[in-house]
Amino acid sequence: MRAQAPAAFRDCPKCPEMVTLPLRSFTMGSPAAEPRREAQESPQVQVKIAQPIAVGKYEVTFAEWDACVADGGCRGYRPRDDGWGRGNLPVINVDWADAQAYAAWLTSKTGKTYRLPSEAEWEYAARGGASTAYWWGAKASRAYANYGRDKCCGEEAAGADKWRNTSPVGSFPANAFGLHDMNGNVWEWVQDCWNDSHTGADTAGAARVSGECELRVQRGGAWSSMPERIRAAFRHAFPTHDRANFIGFRVARAP
């Protein structure tokens, strides 16, 4: 029987729901035998998540972002929704600094320290205790995620994945940690500067603050991504100042 996922909590009525993760070790990166892996996912590193951390149950939504703007935060920036709608759709068209501004607003509002997850924390959360390419198994499945065409490139809708663009958060099952949409829907900014391998990664899961810091890591893939790009180990670099309709984020905080 699958273990019950941790209970979610909020620090304020319009704050994102958060889930406290268990403290465990995991292997970051992909094994050589994993289909469609890339060199930047190696070497594998044993990481021990030793410090308590809570991660957003969902990607940050337009409703949550708009609450920040209405309260005088988020630099007053109101991202375009590209005609897809707002509400409980994940916020899009946000750059790395925008994500930082939202975390700073949450910190000011709640007195808790919010931030972006580190790359290691993100992968740990995405795996949900699994070691397979996706938390549900070795192969991509539209029963569990919103992603793009099986071969390059663009949107695709089939089966439970009925959305050509972003899907409302929580439209697909949660992983064993109680987290939704870690695979697909929108790419998620994390804290780390880009490095082209895991060589030198912190074994306690801290973010890497050296490297190509004009680029930051994104994880998880998006509604337009090919299935291999929504694997838990896949890593992607993106310029910090760029915004796009396939980019969003989720937050983390120390409980």
Task: For 13-255, give the CATH class.
Answer: alpha beta
Three-state secondary structure call for residue 191: strand
Grade residue 1 by pLDDT with cuts at 50, 70 and 90: very low
Q: Which residues contact 199 (CB under 8 A, 6 or more apart)?
A: 43
Look at residue 50 in the predicted model and tell me its pLDDT.
Answer: 86
Instruction: Tell whether the model's pLDDT for residue 92 goes beyond 90.
Output: yes
Q: Percent of the chain at pLDDT above 90?
A: 95
Instruction: Tell whether the model's pLDDT for residue 230 goes beyond 90.
Output: yes
CA dist 142 and 146 (Å) reads 6
Q: How do beta strands 25-28 and 8-9 pair?
A: unpaired
Grade residue 255 by pLDDT with cuts at 50, 70 and 90: confident
Task: Please provide the DSSP assignment of 41-103 as one string.
Answer: G-S-EEEE--S--EEESSPPBHHHHHHHHHTT-GGG-----TTS--TTSBP-S--HHHHHHHH
Look at residue 6 in the predicted model and tell me its pLDDT.
Answer: 76
Q: Are 194 and 216 in contact (CB under 8 A)?
A: yes
Instruction: Tell whether the model's pLDDT for residue 113 goes beyond 80.
Output: yes
Look at residue 3 in the predicted model and tell me its pLDDT.
Answer: 61
Look at residue 2 in the predicted model and tell me its pLDDT.
Answer: 57
Mean pLDDT for the chain overall = 96
Query: What is the CB-side half-sphere exposure of residue 130 using CA atoms within 13 A?
Result: 18
Sequence ranges of the domains in the chain: 13-255
Look at residue 20 in the predicted model and tell me its pLDDT.
Answer: 97
The tokens describing 121, both together, are: 């924390």
Global pTM exceeds 0.95: yes
Instruction: Tell whether the model's pLDDT for residue 219 goes beyond 50.
Output: yes
What digits encode the pLDDT tens for the residues 18-70? 999 999 999 999 999 999 999 999 999 999 998 999 999 999 999 999 999 99
Average pLDDT estimate for 119-142: 98
Look at residue 9 in the predicted model and tell me its pLDDT.
Answer: 97
Instruction: Tell whether the model's pLDDT for residue 176 goes beyond 70.
Output: yes
